Amino acid sequence: MRRLLFAANWKMHLGPSQAREFMGAFLTSYQGLPDREVWFFPPAVSLAAVAQAIRGRSGLAAGAQNVHWEPKGAFTGETSVAMAKDAGATAALVGHSERRHVFGETDQETGCKVRALLDGGLAPVLCVGEKLEEREAGATLTVVERQLRVLEGLDPAALQRIVIAYEPVWAIGTGRNATPQDAAQVHRAIRAWLTAHGAPAPSVPVLYGGSVSVDNVGSLVAEPEIDGVLVGGASLDPARWTRLASVPAN
């Protein structure tokens, strides 16, 4: 059975009390499906609340939105891998477009975070994707493959612990999304890159993110190249997120 991953990125929404309220509503209504996992990436201050709510529940996990690669030190405002793990994280987002294009995170920094997460026992969810001008210039695959190069040098066992999320920047929060066929084409290129660098491609989940909704998620996960979705705005309401995470893969 193909296993899907539905990941919720809450961004800077839902503090601890709101997170507990959200999880109470979600856990009451979500029945769970044997073909998928549901991961939550809340703000750092809400991570422990989410992790506590899902403790012991199969198919559910919590992760950090961001980590620093250093284990400790004078890095005000940052969260180490060990801190995230202690709060209940089993994974963390790396290289999200907002970290890259709003906060100026470089490919080198992204690579440092990937390795720190692997060393610390958390699963990196590496986000890759092109801006609109890069897409219009026909540079989508060039950009994505450049962003994947931070994984060079990792052994096959390490590569199999990583999740890739293809998020075209022009589709995030805009209401526009790549067609399932467009996304699948990029996903095939990602799998080819992974295979060329030693990872058995089917073992690395490749998600799609960018204006995912209840209306389009079914057609996205119906594509055999798309192993799930990374969702922003549509994951902030528990009823809507429950419906989205319960959509069958046609």
pLDDT tens digits along 155-205:
999 999 999 999 998 877 776 777 888 899 999 999 999 999 998 768 899
* Residue 72 within a domain: yes
Residue 172 inside a domain? The answer is yes
pLDDT at 1: 62
Alpha-carbon distance of 227 to 5, in angstroms, equals 6
> How many domains would you assign to the chain?
1
Predicted model pTM: 0.96
Please tell me whether residue 206 adopts helix, strand or coil conformation. strand
Mean pLDDT, to the nearest integer, of 24-44?
96
Which residue, among 238, 159, 243, 233, has the nearest Cα to 202 in the 3D structure?
159
- pLDDT (average), residues 64-84: 98
Question: Is 83's pLDDT higher than 70?
Answer: yes
| 221-249 pLDDT tens trace | 999 999 999 999 999 999 999 999 999 98
Give residue 142's domain range: 4-245
**Does 152 fall in a domain?**
yes
What are the angstrom distances between the C-alpha of 154 and each of 24, 87, 128?
39, 27, 18
26 is a domain residue: yes
Catalytic residues: 96, 167
pLDDT over 90 (residue 58):
yes
29 inside domain? yes
In a domain, 250, yes or no: no
Residue 2 has pLDDT above 90, yes or no: no
Q: How many CA atoms lie within 13 A of 248 on its CB side?
A: 1
pLDDT at 118: 98
Question: Residue 62's domain is classified under what CATH number?
Answer: 3.20.20.70
Percent of the chain residues past pLDDT 70, beyond the cut:
98
The size of the chain, in residues, is 250
